[in-house]
Amino acid sequence: MPTEAILSTTRQFLGVDPAVPITLEPIKRGASGRTIVRVKTASREPFIGIHWTEEREDNSQFIPVAQFLKQAKLRVPEIIHERARYRVALVEDLGDKDLLSLKDRPFEERLPYYRSAFEQVDKLFYAKPAKDFHLMPPFDASLYRWEQEYFFEFMVEEFLDLYGVADGLKKNPVFNELAERLGTVARHLVHRDFQSQNLMIKDDKVWLIDFQGLRRGRQEYDLASLIFDPYLDHTAEEREQLLTLWEDIADERPLEKLFHECAAQRLMQALGAYGNIVKNRGDDWYRPHIATAARLLGEVTAGTALEAPLAPVLSAIRKKNP
Q: What is the pLDDT of residues 80-97, one digit of tens each?
A: 999 988 999 999 999 999
Closest CA to 169 of 36, 18, 45, 301: 301
* pLDDT in the model for residue 20: 87
Pairing between strand 23-26 and 205-208?
unpaired
Looking at the fold, whether 199 and 299 belong to one and the same domain comes out as yes
Asked whether the predicted pLDDT for residue 322 surpasses 90, the reply is: no
Confidence of residue 125 (pLDDT cuts 50, 70, 90): confident
Q: What is the DSSP string of 96-117?
A: S-BGGGGTTS-HHHHHHHHHHH
The residue that leads in pLDDT, 56 or 139, is 139
Q: What does the pLDDT read at residue 33?
A: 76
Same domain, 270 and 306: yes
Domain stop point among 59, 91, 123? 91
Indicate the number of domains in the chain.
2
Q: Please determine, for residue 32, whether its predicted confidence score (pLDDT) is greater than 80.
A: no
187: confidence class by pLDDT, cuts 50, 70, 90: confident
Please determine, for residue 26, whether its predicted confidence score (pLDDT) is greater than 80.
yes
Give the pLDDT score at 30. 54
CA-nearest of 195, 197, 261, 271 to 226 is 195
Who wins on pLDDT, 261 or 84? 261
Q: What is the spatial distance between Cα 38 and Cα 26, in angstroms, rounded to a whole number?
A: 6
Least confident range from 51-65, 142-156, 280-294, 301-315: namely 51-65
Q: Which class for 245: exposed (0-12), middle (13-18), buried (19 or more C-beta within 10 A)?
A: middle
Q: How far apart are CA 255 and CA 260, in angstroms?
A: 9
> Which CATH number is 155's domain given?
3.90.1200.10
242 and 276 part of one domain: yes
Q: Of 39, 62, 91, which residue constitutes the final position of a domain?
A: 91
Helices 141-151 and 173-182, interaxial angle, to 10°? 140
42 in the same domain as 133: no
pLDDT (mean) for 29-57: 87
How much is the average pLDDT of 117-140? 92
Same domain assignment for residues 197 and 295: yes
User: 167-188 burial by CB neighbour count: b if 16+ within 10 A, else e?
Assistant: eebbeeebbeebbeebbebbeb
The domain of 223 spans 99-320
Question: Does residue 54 sit in the same domain as residue 27?
Answer: yes
Residue with the larger pLDDT of the pair 28 and 89: 89
Instruction: Please list, in sequence order, all residues whose beta carbon lies within 8 angstroms of the beta carbon of residue 162, skipping any fewer than 6 positions away.
Output: 156, 312, 313, 316
For residue 126, the model assigns a pLDDT of: 83
Single out the residue in 60, 91, 122 at which a domain terminates: 91
118's CB contacts (< 8 A; 6+ apart) are 245, 246, 249, 250
What does the mean pLDDT of the chain come to? 94
pLDDT(31) > 70 = no
| Predicted pLDDT at 29 | 59
Sign of the four-CA dihedral 267, 146, 197, 289: positive
pTM of the model: 0.95
Q: Exposure of 103 by Cβ count < 10 A (0-12 exposed, 13-18 middle, 19+ buried)?
A: middle
CATH of the domain at 43: 3.30.200
Confidence at residue 112, expressed as pLDDT on a 0 to 100 scale: 98
Q: Please compute the mean of the pLDDT values over residues 25-45 and round it to a whole number.
A: 85
Looking at the fold, whether 145 and 45 belong to one and the same domain comes out as no
For the chain, percent of residues with pLDDT exceeding 90: 87
What tens digit of pLDDT does each residue of 208-250 get? 999 999 999 999 999 999 999 999 999 999 999 999 999 999 9
Report residue 61: phi and psi, to 5°: -85, -10
**Same domain flag for 251 and 314:** yes
Claim to verify: residue 178 and residue 80 sit in the same structural domain: no
- Within this chain, do residues 128 and 63 fall inside the same structural domain, yes or no? no
Residues 202, 104, single domain; the answer is yes
Could you tell me if 66 and 141 lie in one domain?
no
